[in-house]
Amino acid sequence: MLKFMLSVFFYPESIAIIGATSDPKKFGNAVTTNILKNKDLTSKVYLVSHGSKEIVGIKTYKSILDIPGEIDIAIILVPANVVESIVDQCIEKKVKGIIIVTSGFGEIDEQGKVKEKIIINKCKEAGIRVIGPNCVGIQNADIGLNASFIQTPPHGEVSMISQSGSFGCAVFYQMERDVIGCSKFANIGNGVDISFDDFLSFFTHDENTKIISIYLETISNGRFFYEKLKQITRIKPVIVLKGGKTAKGMLAAQSHTGSITSNYKILKTAIVQAGAVMCENVSDFITAIKTLSFLVPPEGENVGILTNSGGNAVIFSDNADKFNLKLAEFSDALKEKISPHLISLVQKINPLDMIGVAEEQHYYNVAREMFEDPGIDIVVGSAVIPPFLGMQSDEHFRGLIRAWNETGRKKPLIPLFLFSEGFVELKELAKKEKSPIFYTPHEAVYAIKLLIERKKFLNHKSNSKEN
C-alpha cells in the first residue's frame, strides 16, 4: 500500500503542474522547465496556468478540472493563500497524490501550522497523500523525471532524502564533479503527511537504489528509524549527515523547519549501532557516498600503498594512524616480485615510494603484484601528478585501473591524487571506468575505514543470522 502510494509519485502516468508559467523568475517556471526538458519522459504532462495561454508551445488549462484525462499527481506552485482552494480542485479531480512546493506554512508560524493541517486533513479524508508543503520537489532519474525546481543530477544508483532542498542541490553539484549518479531524490519539506519514514521505506525496497543518503535535521520517530535502519543496512549502505548537532545548529534548524532536533550523541550511537554511516561533516558525507558507490568491502584490513611522492607517503601514513589502519609489511615474495619493476633507488617498504620517475608501466606492474599478493587486501594507488618527463596526467591512474581490471577488481583500489581535481583526463577516466578518485589523504583513509567497517558489519550480521 505504502509502496504503491509512493510509486505514484515516482512513476506517475500523468502530471498536472498547477502554477506553471513562462516567467523565468518564478518557481512555477523552473519546475515546468525541468519536467519538460526530458523528451524521453513517458508521463503525460499538463500545465495549469492563470496567466499564460501557452508555455513553450504547450497549451495550458485554466484549472485542473478542465484537463480531460485522469491525473496521477498534481504539483502545486501557486501562492500560499490560494493553495487550499487549488487542493479542493485536486480532490474534486480525484488525483492520487499532491506535491505542494509552495512555502509559507508550518515553517513560519503557528498560523501556518494550522493552515497546512487543514489542507492535509482534507486530503486524508479524500484518500490523497501529500508531499510538502515547503519543498523543492522530488526526482526519479530512472525515468527522467525531475519534478523539482533544482537541477537534474547525472543518473545513477544513489537515492537521497534531504530535509533541506538547497543542501540536496549543493550535494548534486559535488556528486556531478565526482561523477556519482542519482536514482531518486526527495525533499520532505514540512513533511506533514508523507514523511521521512515513508521515503525511507520506499527506497529500501526500490531495486534501483543501491545506496541511501540522508540529510537529517529532525526525527519524529526515533524507534522506527532505528529499526528500519537495522533492516536496510543488511541490504544496502545508508549514509547519514545530521544538521543541528550543536546548540547553535539546533537553534538554526528550529527556524529552518520549525522542528526541535534530537540529542546528537544518542542519535549517533543508534545510527552507528544500526549499521549506517554517520558522517561528521559535509566533506565526509560526499566521501562516503563516493566510496560506497564505487567500491566493495575488502576481505581483510591490510593496506598496501604505492606512490611517486615521498611527502605523499608521509602524509598518508599520518592519516592512516588516525583510523588505526594496518599498513601491510611486504613479504619477501612480494619484494622479489616488485623488484624488477623498480629503479635501484627505491626502498622496498610500505608505503612504496617509487619516486617521480615512476610512470604508467611501473604503476601497472607494481599494483598488479599488490592485487595478487595474499598479504594485501586494499591497494592505495597514490600519485602527485608530475608536470615533467613528458608524462600524461592520467597515466598513473591508467596503470592502476588496468591492474585492477585484470585482477577482476577483487580488492578495492583507492586512487589518491593529491589536489588534482583540476585534471579533466582523470575525471573522464574515472567516469568511464566507474572508479572513485580521492583528492586528499584524509578522504582516502576515511574511505578505507568505511569499507573495513562495512565488511565487519556484514560479517557480523551474517554470523548472527547463522547462530
Shortest Å distance, C-beta 169 to its own copies: 5
Question: Of 71 and 212, which has the nearer Cβ to its own copies?
Answer: 212
- Angle, helices 2-10/196-205, rounded to nearest 10 degrees: 90
- Mark the segment that binds its own copies (CB under 8 A) among 53-61, 203-211, 287-295, 344-352: 344-352
Shortest Å distance, C-beta 181 to its own copies: 16
Residue 69 interacting with its own copies (CB under 8 A)? no
Shortest Å distance, C-beta 177 to its own copies: 5
Shortest Å distance, C-beta 388 to its own copies: 4
Residue 351 interacting with its own copies (CB under 8 A)? yes
Residue 62 interacting with its own copies (CB under 8 A)? no
Instruction: Say how far apart CA 215 and CA 159 lie, in whole Å.
Output: 11
Instruction: Say how far apart CA 442 and CA 321 lie, in whole Å.
Output: 11
Instruction: Say how far apart CA 334 and CA 78 lie, in whole Å.
Output: 68
Instruction: Say how far apart CA 354 and CA 376 lie, in whole Å.
Output: 18
Shortest Å distance, C-beta 342 to its own copies: 13
For 459, counting Cβ atoms within 10 Å of its Cβ (0-12 exposed, 13-18 middle, 19+ buried), the class is exposed
Site for its own copies in 197-226 (CB under 8 A): 215, 217
Shortest Å distance, C-beta 25 to its own copies: 5
- Angle, helices 310-322/441-466, rounded to nearest 10 degrees: 40
Site for its own copies in 363-422 (CB under 8 A): 384-390, 418-422
Residue 322 interacting with its own copies (CB under 8 A)? yes
State the DSSP code for 106: T
Per-residue binding string, its own copies, 120-159, x by CB under 8 A, is: -----------------------------xxx--------
Per rule CB under 8 A, count of chain residues that contact its own copies:
82
Q: Which segments of 253-374 are extended strands (E)?
A: 277-279, 302-307, 326-327, 352-353
CA-to-CA separations, 415 to 320, 379, 381, 435, in angstroms, rounded: 15, 8, 5, 8
State the DSSP code for 164: -
Shortest Å distance, C-beta 94 to its own copies: 30
Residue 321 interacting with its own copies (CB under 8 A)? yes
Question: Of 128 and 214, which has the nearer Cβ to its own copies?
Answer: 214
Residue 239 interacting with its own copies (CB under 8 A)? no
The alpha carbon of residue 278 and the mean position of all alpha carbons in its chain are separated, in whole angstroms, by: 14
C-alpha cell at 129: 497523500
Among 253, 288, 403, 429, binds its own copies (CB under 8 A): 253
- Mark the segment that binds its own copies (CB under 8 A) among 171-179, 193-201, 289-297, 448-456: 171-179
Among 237, 243, 399, 436, binds its own copies (CB under 8 A): 243
Residue 313 interacting with its own copies (CB under 8 A)? yes
CA-to-CA separations, 168 to 186, 190, 207, 215, 276, in angstroms, rounded: 9, 15, 22, 8, 19
Among 10, 46, 167, 203, binds its own copies (CB under 8 A): 167
Shortest Å distance, C-beta 270 to its own copies: 19
Residue 247 interacting with its own copies (CB under 8 A)? yes
Among 52, 257, 262, 365, binds its own copies (CB under 8 A): 257
Per-residue binding string, its own copies, 10-29, x by CB under 8 A, is: --------------xxxx-x
Tell me how long the chain is: 467
Question: Of 14 and 254, which has the nearer Cβ to its own copies?
Answer: 254
Contact 139, 133 (CB under 8 A): no
**Contacts for 46 with CB less than 8 Å, ≥ 6 apart:** 14, 15, 16, 17, 61, 64, 67, 71
Cell 602527485 found at: 384
